[in-house]
């Protein structure tokens, strides 16, 4: 498959075979994720990380991945002092950074920003989250986590719980998973249901079940993907408390699930997963976060060296 | 068009006839052409006209106005397959069918206010046709899907 110079903008740009190729390569990178690749295959390359919005985890894992592969990193993590703060357009910034680097990693509040950037850059652009839109490398590391921690993706029943309306992670990931042979469960309060257009698209390919009640479906799940419900989405704090409380993951709930159930969360978490869950064998969210590095190492290697 | 059907709406000397509009969409055609705000243009509308091809259809005749290609593209958005007849001196000088292209560029904006195409002034919005029935298009940038009502609201 052609990887050299390829943009990573939307998970929808990839076939199942391509996703599996990334997963396979990421698996080989796991051994180097904490010590660095001994051959420094990206030595001499420069990766630019342009973060128009703060995101500690995503930025640091990209930068770590680049450095573990031998590349150097430049960029910004906030707009303060940058030319953007002086009013420069995204397209102008991209044109300039294009000549300073071999790949651009972009986090931007506008939906579609990475697609736009890819049209102005000759070097490959990686979307590290564009507003409420796509976050393809998060989806890829989530699929990698399912594969690594729970076995083949095909045949799995995967439940998403929490804020399914605004959570872009859920949008990207459920779309990607729907390319596999899976069953998807969307568990949320009515106010935070998965957007209709996304559900409609996913239903064309895989069976979907929507419910308010996690207890109704917990026994059927192989993977429970928990997301944070944000207070600011609710005008009335009492309404928030009512809803947020429903989806706190308790050990008693987990004990009703399958023996091999795994629990994932894109982090940061607030109250939805209490610390007592961390010690259960089902808890895989810290592993999931750690896989950000090998998955991004694999992606950088593929697009910068083509292999 | 037969003589009998022509009688329903008077012949025009010069202008554009849009025939075979899906029934119920004549007013949308006028809306996207922004004709209702132009008092200098005389428009005749026939709705629920019997049609062999379509069962029922709408027809719009616009006097003294020849539509340009951008306007024809807009019509294709909501009336794919409509027949356009350009009339001069009561005679047909051009007749063709508008076809909805696979890529739609520059004639409407994205309905998503947070889409980058609505933020960067120099960007020409672009959409991919997903389905003709029901009409669904997808923004090239933010991937938001839009259906007929939203499309009509966002035509430039």
- What are the CA-CA distances from residue A121 to residues A84, A97, A191, B85 (Å)? 17, 8, 39, 44
State whether B141 and A132 contact (CB < 8 Å). Answer: no
* Cα-based angle B101, B104, B105 (whole degrees, multiple of 5): 140
Measured between CA atoms, how close is A130 to chain B, in angstroms?
9
User: Under a CB-based contact definition with an 8 Å cutoff, are residues A98 and A73 in contact?
Assistant: no
Nearest alpha-carbon partner for A182 in A208, A148, A150, A211: A208
Q: At what angle do helices A136-150 and A56-68 cross, to 10 degrees?
A: 70
Residue among B114, B122, B144 minimizing CB distance to A110: B114
List chain B residues with CB under 8 Å of A90: 116, 120
List chain A residues with CB under 8 Å of B121: 89
List where CATH 2.30.30.20 sits in chain B: 103-153
Q: Residue B8: pLDDT band by 50, 70, 90 thresholds?
A: low
pLDDT tens digits, A77-128:
887 767 777 778 999 999 999 999 999 999 999 999 999 999 999 999 999 9
Distance, CA of A164 to CA of A135 (rounded, Å):
15
Return the bridge partners of B136, or none: B131, B147
Q: How many CB atoms lie within 10 A of CB A36?
A: 14
Distance, CA of B127 to CA of B141 (rounded, Å):
8
Estimate the share of chain A in helix, then strand, then coil, as percent rounded to the nearest 5.
45, 15, 40
Q: Which two tokens stand for residue A253?
A: 């709930």
Measured between CA atoms, how close is B120 to chain A, in angstroms?
7
Nearest alpha-carbon partner for B123 in B98, B111, B140, B100: B140
Query: Is the predicted pLDDT of residue B4 greater than 50, yes or no?
Result: no
- What are the CA-CA distances from residue A213 to residues A160, A189, A209, B23 (Å)? 12, 8, 11, 44
Longest dimension (CA), chain B: 53
Work out the burial of residue B122: count CB atoms within 10 Å of its CB; fewer than 13 is exposed, 13-18 middle, 19 or more buried.
exposed
Residue among A89, A115, A132 minimizing CB distance to B140: A115
Chain B contact for A127 (CB, 8 A cutoff): no
Element (DSSP H or E) covering residue A175? helix A168-177
Residue B9 has a pLDDT of: 58
State whether B142 and A112 contact (CB < 8 Å). Answer: yes
State whether A201 and B145 contact (CB < 8 Å). Answer: yes
Residue A81 has a pLDDT of: 64
Q: Residue B125: pLDDT band by 50, 70, 90 thresholds?
A: very high
State whether A116 and B115 contact (CB < 8 Å). Answer: no
Mean pLDDT over each residue of chain A, to the nearest integer: 93
Q: Which residues of chain A have pLDDT under 70?
A: 1, 81
- The CATH number of B3-97, from 3.30.460.20, 3.30.70.140, 3.90.1200.10, 3.30.70.1450, is 3.30.70.140
Query: Residue range B133-150: average pLDDT?
Result: 91
Chain B contact for A115 (CB, 8 A cutoff): yes
Mean pLDDT over each residue of chain B, to the nearest integer: 88
| Topology annotation, domain B103-153 | SH3 type barrels. (2.30.30)
Query: Residue range B91-103: average pLDDT?
Result: 93
List chain B residues with CB under 8 Å of A89: 120-122
Query: Is the predicted pLDDT of residue B7 greater than 50, yes or no?
Result: no
- Residue of B105, B116, B123 to mutate for A, most A C-beta atoms under 10 A: B116
Buried-state track B84-113, b at ≥16 Cβ within 10 A, e below 16: bbbbeeeeeeeeeebebeeebeebbbbbbe
The interface predicted TM-score (ipTM) is 0.84
Residue A229 has a pLDDT of: 85
pLDDT tens digits, A182-204:
999 999 998 899 988 889 889 99
Q: Which residue of B has its CA nearest to A11?
A: B143
List where CATH 3.30.70.140 sits in chain B: 3-97
Long-range contacts of A198-201 (CB under 8 A, 24+ apart): A198/A171, A198/A174, A201/A175, A201/B145
Q: Which two tokens stand for residue A114?
A: 């990475």
Query: Is the predicted pLDDT of residue B32 greater than 90, yes or no?
Result: no
Q: Which two tokens stand for residue A90?
A: 């995204």
Q: Which residue of A has its CA nearest to B115?
A: A111
Nearest alpha-carbon partner for A126 in A26, A299, A8, A14: A8
């Amino acid at each position: 498959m052609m990887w050299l110079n390829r943009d990573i903008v939307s998970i929808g740009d990839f076939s199942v075979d391509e996703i599996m190729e990334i997963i396979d390569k990421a698996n080989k990178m796991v051994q180097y994720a904490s010590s660095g690749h001994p051959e420094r295959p990206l030595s001499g390359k420069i990766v630019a990380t342009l973060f128009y919005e703060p995101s500690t985890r995503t930025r640091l894992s990209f930068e770590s991945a680049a450095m573990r592969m031998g590349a150097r990193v430049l960029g910004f993590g906030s707009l303060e002092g940058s030319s953007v703060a002086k009013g420069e357009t995204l397209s102008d910034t991209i044109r300039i950074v294009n000549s300073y680097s071999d790949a651009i990693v972009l986090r931007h509040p506008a939906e579609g920003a990475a697609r736009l950037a890819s049209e102005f850059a000759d070097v490959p652009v990686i979307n590290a989250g564009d507003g409420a839109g796509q976050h393809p490398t998060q989806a890829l590391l989530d699929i990698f986590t399912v594969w690594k921690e729970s076995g083949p993706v095909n045949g799995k029943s995967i439940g998403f719980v929490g804020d399914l309306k605004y959570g872009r992670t859920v949008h990207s990931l459920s779309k990607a998973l729907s390319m596999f042979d899976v069953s998807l469960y969307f568990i949320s309060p009515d106010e935070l249901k998965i957007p209709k257009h996304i559900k409609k698209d996913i239903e064309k390919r895989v069976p979907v079940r929507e419910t308010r009640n996690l207890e109704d479906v917990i026994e059927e799940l192989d993977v429970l993907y928990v997301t944070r419900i944000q207070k600011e989405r609710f005008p009335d704090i009492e309404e928030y408390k009512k809803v947020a409380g429903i989806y706190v993951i308790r050990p008693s709930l987990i004990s009703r699930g399958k023996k091999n159930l795994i629990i994932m969360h894109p982090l940061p978490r607030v109250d939805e997963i209490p610390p007592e869950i961390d010690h259960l064998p089902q808890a895989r969210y810290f592993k999931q976060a750690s896989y950000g590095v090998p998955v991004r190492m694999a992606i950088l290697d593929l697009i910068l060296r083509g292999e | 068009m037969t003589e009998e059907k022509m009688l329903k709406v008077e012949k025009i000397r010069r202008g554009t006839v849009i025939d075979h509009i899906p029934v119920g969409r004549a007013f949308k055609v006028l809306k996207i052409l922004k004709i209702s705000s132009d008092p200098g243009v005389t428009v005749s509308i026939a709705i629920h006209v019997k049609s062999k091809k379509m069962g029922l259809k709408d027809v719009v005749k616009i006097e003294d106005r020849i539509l340009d290609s951008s306007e024809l593209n807009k019509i294709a958005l909501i009336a794919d397959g409509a027949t356009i007849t350009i009339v001069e001196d009561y005679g047909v000088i051009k007749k063709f069918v508008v076809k909805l292209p696979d890529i739609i560029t520059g004639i409407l904006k994205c309905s998503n206010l947070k889409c980058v195409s609505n933020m960067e002034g120099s960007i020409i919005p672009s959409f991919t046709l997903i389905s003709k029935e029901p009409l669904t298009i997808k923004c090239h940038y933010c991937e938001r899907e839009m259906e007929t009502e939203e499309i009509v609201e966002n035509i430039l």
